[in-house]
């Protein structure tokens, strides 16, 4: 019971979208620097109990500017977001500014990488749709941030990116 209360306190007080604008040194979790390029540093935070709108997140990727200010946060959900979660998002964030699906594929290329993995690149046309149409992208433009869900139905996962729009 106490562990549940502590977990609820942590997730309510450390939602990942609240990290935007903080200095990386102010993050309430240990962050490991992974990359640095032209003043932009990339960090990973893992094995922590974090949340985005009541959905647990165990790993986030953070990008900072040259002053260490967090400008971007991304994570993956190992599932497709369902209609109930989408409704929760709409209740919290309002109607999305964009919700799009692939309407036609123009070109599809695949390439075997040195690692042995295959990278597939698809080019196509996007069109506005409803959630029931299985969108690929859902985007909210808020005053200080952009929130984008990229939904990979064929892979069974959803990628979330939150960027500072300042």
pLDDT tens-digit series, residues 131-154:
999 999 999 998 889 999 999 998
Compute the CA torsion angle 41, 61, 132, 154 (nearest 10 deg): 100
| Cα 106 off chain centre by | 27
pLDDT digits (tens, 9 = 90+) for 35-78: 888 888 999 988 777 777 777 877 889 999 999 999 999 998 88
CA distances from 104 to 84, 108, 127, 149, 156 (A): 28, 11, 9, 20, 21
Map out the domains of the chain as residue ranges: 1-77, 86-155
Higher confidence at residue 13 or residue 62? Answer: 62
Sign of the C-alpha dihedral computed for residues 101, 105, 111 and 117 taken in this order = positive
pLDDT at 8 over 50: no
Q: Where are the beta strands (DSSP E) in the chain?
A: 32-37, 40-52, 55-64, 70-77, 98-112, 118-128, 137-141, 145-152, 157-164
Q: What is the reported pLDDT for 94?
A: 94
Segment among 8-17, 23-32, 80-89, 138-147 with least mean pLDDT:
8-17
Average of per-residue pLDDT across 156-166:
89
Q: What is the reported pLDDT for 5?
A: 38
DSSP annotation of 9: H
Under 8 Å between Cβ of 80 and 151: yes
């Amino acid at each position: 019971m106490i562990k549940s209360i502590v977990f609820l306190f942590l997730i309510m007080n450390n939602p990942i979208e609240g990290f935007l604008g903080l200095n990386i040194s102010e993050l309430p979790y240990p962050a490991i620097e992974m990359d640095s390029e032209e003043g932009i540093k990339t960090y990973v935070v893992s094995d922590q109990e974090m949340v985005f709108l009541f959905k647990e997140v165990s790993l986030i990727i953070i990008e900072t500017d040259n002053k260490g200010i967090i400008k971007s946060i991304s994570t993956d959900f190992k599932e497709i977001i369902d209609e109930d979660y989408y409704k929760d998002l709409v209740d919290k964030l309002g109607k999305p500014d964009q919700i799009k699906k692939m309407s036609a594929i123009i070109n599809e290329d695949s390439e075997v990488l040195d690692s042995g993995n295959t990278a597939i690149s698809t080019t196509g046309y996007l069109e506005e749709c409803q959630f029931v149409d299985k969108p690929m992208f859902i985007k909210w433009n808020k005053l200080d941030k952009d929130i984008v869900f990229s939904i990979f139905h064929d892979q069974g996962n959803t990628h979330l990116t939150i960027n500072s729009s300042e």
